[in-house]
Amino acid sequence: MLFKLALLAILATSIETAFAAADGSNFKLYAYGTKMKSGLRLFYGDGQAYIGHSAPTFVKEAVKITLTKPENSTEFVAAPDTAMKWESQPIMYINTTEGAMNPVGFIKNNETLGEGASAIGFGLVKWNAGGSKTSDDFSISLRTMAPISMNN
């Protein structure tokens, strides 16, 4: 499934509300949208945020994550959902520069944020501060609510 995802700035309010409710607790994020299968988990892949059932083949380190927003902090800290250990827990970041269309990413201690990289495919999640859109982009919303399984 090759497609490029962009989060429009309009969604910031709903995302901020979900994060505010999670202050001081652990939560997972799920992607919902009209041009995709809803309820896909957000996961960490080589320092960037992806959604999907599995990682693209070019990603060396991919793991489903749980996020935490520590009390009295504005950061969202990622922890792997597996037994793997990181030397430092990555912190989620976005580029808020006007007109920016960069991947949502994660940065670890002693790393510096780059200019931002663009990638196409496998559900790369991007923050679109400018609200611009190309023909293959579509909006998603990230929620802390997991999809409901309907078994017959």
Listed range (72-76, 126-130, 136-140) with the worst mean pLDDT: 126-130
Q: Which of 46, 38, 99, 42 is nearest to 76 (CA)?
A: 42
Which of 7-21, 60-74, 126-140: highest mean pLDDT? 60-74
Q: What pLDDT, on a 0 to 100 scale, did the predictor assign at position 71? A: 80
Position 105 pLDDT exceeds 70: yes
Residue 26 pLDDT greater than 50, yes or no: yes
- pLDDT of amino acid 99: 79
Is residue 70 scored above 70 in pLDDT?
yes
Average pLDDT score over the chain: 70
What pLDDT does 138 receive? Answer: 66
Name the β-bridge partners of 48.
Answer: 45, 105
Listed by start position, the domains of the chain span 25-118
Span 74-79, mean pLDDT?
84
Residue 9: per-residue pLDDT: 30
23-45 as b/e, with b when 16 or more CB fall inside 10 Å?
eeeebbbbbbbeebeeebbbbbb
Is the confidence at residue 84, as pLDDT, over 70? yes
Model confidence at 119: pLDDT above 70: no
pTM of the model: 0.65
